[in-house]
């Protein structure tokens, strides 16, 4: 390109990263946290129909922060991939690690080759079977993948929430009630406001359930857990 229009590759990548980060920061925060019987996912989401946390497969959940239409397309692509792999091979071959790697490759390709990056950050979570370890993968807009332990935060003021949880997460993995209270306290700290149960989206991957492990927690149960 002519000199007046030249932009160095380093500057172009930096501009893309700043653009994506601004879009993600506008979204509401989501927390994934391990508890005794599985993994809890809690989101600041007043909408009853536009879910930010969803089931992908038997023991795998997906959460997305940022631009809804973009992470919704990623969620659907993940479901198709999981269903096809489970049908062609076996259900045990569908893992959070393979899904996270697929998302990482797709986001990395879009970030490096397309003019506009996706304004999304996602979580892929799998509950461990028979006492096995849980898996929490955080995938960034540029395809970077992080294997998290105990908890992970995406969207909004994620760094502030990470620091909040770092100081308060107990030495032993908490029970569901304690984990939910800690997640809600972190979300309220990040948003600097109190949340009614109707303004929260909460789900669990519960290893004690037979078959599909994903379960949404209704606002009535959220209220009861927070009030006890």
- pLDDT tens digit string along 162-182? 999 998 999 999 999 999 999
User: 107-142 burial, b if ≥16 CB within 10 A, otherwise e?
Assistant: bbebbeeeeebbbbbbbbbbbeeeeeebbbbbbbbb
Q: Does residue 3 have a pLDDT over 70?
A: no
Note the pLDDT of residue 27.
86
Q: Does residue 91 have a pLDDT over 50?
A: yes
- Of the two residues 131 and 95, the one the predictor is more confident about is 95
Average pLDDT over every residue of 38-54:
93
**Residue closest to 29 by CA, chosen among 151, 189, 187:** 187
pLDDT band at 92 (very low <50, low <70, confident <90, very high): confident
Q: Average model confidence (pLDDT) for the chain?
A: 92
pLDDT band at 5 (very low <50, low <70, confident <90, very high): low
Average pLDDT over every residue of 59-78:
95
**Residue closest to 65 by CA, chosen among 190, 178, 170:** 190
What does the DSSP 8-state code read for residue 37? T
In CATH, which superfamily holds the domain spanning 25-227?
A: Aminohydrolase, N-terminal nucleophile (Ntn) domain (3.60.20.10)
pTM: 0.92
Q: Does residue 210 have a pLDDT over 50?
A: yes
Average pLDDT over every residue of 129-134:
84
Note the pLDDT of residue 47.
87
Average pLDDT over every residue of 199-218:
94
């Amino acid at each position: 390109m002519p000199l007046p229009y030249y932009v160095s590759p380093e500057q172009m990548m930096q501009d893309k990263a700043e653009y994506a980060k601004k879009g993600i920061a506008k979204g509401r925060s989501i927390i994934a946290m391990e508890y005794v019987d599985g993994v809890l996912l809690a989101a600041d989401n007043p909408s009853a129909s536009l879910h930010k946390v969803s089931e992908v497969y038997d023991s795998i959940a997906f959460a997305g922060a940022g631009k809804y239409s973009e992470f919704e397309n990623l969620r659907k692509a993940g479901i198709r991939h999981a269903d096809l792999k489970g049908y062609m091979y076996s259900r045990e071959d569908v893992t959070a690690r393979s899904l996270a790697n697929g998302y990482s490759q797709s986001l990395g390709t879009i970030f490096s080759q397309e003019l506009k990056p996706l304004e999304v950050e996602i979580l892929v979570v799998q509950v461990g079977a028979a006492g096995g370890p849980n898996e929490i993968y955080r995938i960034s807009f540029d395809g970077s993948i992080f294997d998290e332990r105990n908890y992970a935060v995406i969207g909004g003021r994620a760094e502030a929430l990470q620091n909040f949880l770092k100081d308060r997460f107990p030495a032993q993995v908490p029970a569901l009630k304690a984990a939910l209270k800690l997640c809600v306290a972190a979300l309220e700290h990040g948003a600097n406001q109190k949340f009614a149960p109707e303004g929260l989206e909460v789900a669990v991957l519960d290893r004690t359930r037979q078959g599909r492990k994903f379960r949404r927690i209704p606002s009535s149960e959220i209220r009861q857990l927070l009030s006890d």
